[in-house]
Structure 1
């Protein structure tokens, strides 16, 4: 359910899929899965507990994550009015696949709340004495859940009908996506600064 909740990750994967290709959306889905697995490893190592105990470090990470989302939102907004470059075959020239994966990974790990969610789920659901196999299986399972959901998003938004709608309203869709990601970043920063001042 956490993977499916709307947020910057959903907006980003859908935008990458619709503006580029299904393959780019799948690369972004893998980036999201890797980010989830990264946080699950951190939770297993107890770093989430450290973030909860050292409040200033957690707030600093939240501010950094919010600033990353703001920067990403501004970049998407600014690129809204730029036409898609078309190649010889009439299809849009797209970002490199590695960049789609890296931007998705960066977006996933820029949200420290994700780490806390994984930490709290693991604390609540983990058996008292987990086996080594159990601990080793958790990160790959988290990857499958996260990547699996975003594969569905990528397939849905990379359909030709979705891309036609995107091309007909690119400026407004990109501005909406940029605004949503930017507002989520601003919210993260303002919540962090508000917590710091209390």
Structure 2
């Protein structure tokens, strides 16, 4: 494993993290509605989930999916259903008032981490991405140290990006804008997440 290969992987991961998806939508919505701490807790769950997929790719889980493709199909459908449910929940509660920021982050930190975790676990296409990237970049004889460094880098990139979103959209101006248009924005966010969930369901 060379430094150039690591930098290539880092560049790819930054682009993937920044690409639009349910994780980014939920981070923006959570930060604007519940504040920075809630957004950061959600970000932690999102980053942990990506690490789980990366470790699974290194461990060869993608080979299991090739041998038994119905497992991947089942996971994809379950994940899509979860995202559609999240989107529907956002839509259904669109007219509810803005929550108390301190209560949102203090009373349910584990719930926020779990939401982030399951949101990114719901997309098994991440496994295919990591399997392809690792096959193309990592040599077969890569050491355990290199593998650990790659996992750490992936976590750092994901966590940093979503925390950045959380910090930006939890500032007073974005929160005020969100509060003024909450019902419409929550319907928009809900519709986007449901559409992305439906897209994941497709092979």
Partner in structure 2 of residue 171 of structure 1: 183
- TM-superposition CA deviations, 1:19-65 (whole Å, max 9, x none): 10101111111111101111111011100222133221111111111
Does residue 1:43 correspond to 2:43, yes or no? no
1:2-41 matched pairs, under 5 angstroms: 2-41=16-55
Q: Deviations over 1:83-102 (max 9, x none)?
A: 1245xxxx674252221111
Q: What CA deviation, in whole Å up to 9, does each residue of 1:118-162 have, x standing for no partner?
A: 111111110231012112222222111111111111111111101
Task: Check 1:52–1:157 CA distance in 2 against 1; reply closer, same or farther (3 A cut).
Answer: farther
What's the counterpart of residue 104 of structure 2? 94
Distance 1:33 1:43 in 2: 15
When normalised by structure 2's length, the TM-score is: 0.87
Summarize the alignment of residues 99-138 of structure 1 with structure 2, pairs less than 5 Å apart. Answer: 99-138=111-150
**How many residues are treated as equivalent by the alignment?**
187
Match of 2:79 among 65, 69, 74: 65
8 Å Cα contact 1:36/1:108 also seen in 2: yes
Query: What is the alpha-carbon distance in structure 1 between the residues aligned to residue 18 and residue 26 of structure 2?
Result: 13
- Name the counterpart of 2:200: 188
Q: Distance in 2 between matches of 1:104 and 1:137?
A: 23
Contact 2:34 2:99 in 1 (8 A): no
Q: When the two structures are superposed, what TM-score results if normalisation uses the length of structure 1?
A: 0.89
Q: What CA distance in whole angstroms lies between the structure 2 residues aligned with 1:10 and 1:101?
A: 14
2:150 is equivalent to residue 150 of structure 1: no
Q: Which runs of 5+ in 1 are unaligned?
A: 193-198
